[in-house]
Chain A
Amino acid sequence: MNGSGGSCSSLMEVAYDDDHHHGHHDDELHVLAVDDNLIDRKLVEKLLKISSCKVTTAENGIRALEYLGLGDQNQHIDALTNNVMKVNLIITDYCMPGMTGFELLKKVKESSNLKEVPVVIVSSENIPTRVNKCLASGAQMFMQKPLKLADVEKLKCHLMNCRS
Chain B
Amino acid sequence: MEKRQFRDYTISLYHQGFLDDQFTELKKLQDECSPDFVAEVVSLFFEDCEKLISNMARALDQTGNVDYKLVGSSVHQLKGSSSSVGAKRVKGLCVTLKECCDSQNYEGCVRCLQQVDIEYKSLKGKLQDLFNLEQQIVQAGGRIPQVDI
Chain A residues proximal to chain B, CB less than 8 Å: 37-40, 42-43, 46-47, 50, 95, 97, 124, 145-146, 148-149
Contacts and interface: CB of A to CB of B under 8 A. Distances in A.
B41 A146 contact: no
B73 A39 contact: no
25 contacts: A37-B80, A39-B41, A39-B44, A39-B45, A39-B48, A39-B80, A39-B84, A39-B85, A40-B81, A42-B40, A42-B44, A43-B26, A43-B29, A43-B41, A46-B37, A50-B29, A97-B73, A145-B80, A146-B22, A146-B25, A146-B83, A146-B84, A148-B22, A149-B25, A149-B28
Where chain A touches its partner, the secondary structure class is helix
Nearest to A123: B80
A50 B31 CA distance: 9
Interface string B24-44: 011011010010010011001
Interface residues of B, number: 22
Q: Lowest 9 CB-CB distances: which A-B pairs, in order?
A: A146-B84, A46-B29, A39-B81, A148-B25, A39-B44, A39-B84, A37-B80, A40-B84, A146-B22
